[in-house]
Amino acid sequence: MKAIITTITLLTFFIVSSITAQEFSGKAIYKTSRKSSVTFGKNQKGITDKMQEELQKRMQKMNQKTFILEFDKTTSMYKEDVKLEDPTPRVGSGKMVVMSFGGSGSTDAYYKNIKQNRFANKTEIMGKPFLVKDKLPKYEWELSSETKNIGKYTCYKATYSKEVENINMSMINGESKETKTKEIITTTAWYTTQVPISNGPADYQGLPGLILEINDGKNVMVCTEIILNPENAMAIEEPTKGKEVSKKKFDKIQKQKSEEMMEKMKSRNGIEIGNGIQIKMGG
Residue 91 domain-assigned? yes
> In this structure, is residue 2 part of a structural domain?
no
- Domain span holding position 203: 24-282
**Whole-number Å distance between alpha carbons of 123 and 111:** 11
How far is Cα 121 from Cα 108, in angstroms, rounded to an integer?
7
Provide the Cα torsion 254, 260, 261, 264; round to 10°. -170
Span 237-280, pLDDT tens digits = 999 999 999 999 999 999 888 878 777 766 554 444 444 444 44
d(CA 123, CA 241): 9
Q: What's the pLDDT tens digit per position in 189-236?
A: 999 999 999 999 999 999 999 999 999 988 999 999 999 998 887 889
pLDDT digits (tens, 9 = 90+) for 4-31: 433 433 343 333 344 344 578 999 999 9
What is the dihedral angle through the alpha carbons of 170, 173, 175, 177, rounded to the nearest 10 degrees?
A: -30
Inside any domain, residue 174 = yes
- Assigned domain for 96 exists: yes
Closest CA to 131 of 153, 102, 155: 102
Does residue 17 belong to any structural domain of this protein? no
- The answer to whether residue 61 is domain-embedded is yes
Answer yes or no: is 8 within a domain.
no
Domain assignment of residue 66, yes or no: yes
Does 107 score more than 90 pLDDT?
Answer: no
How many domains is the chain partitioned into structurally?
1
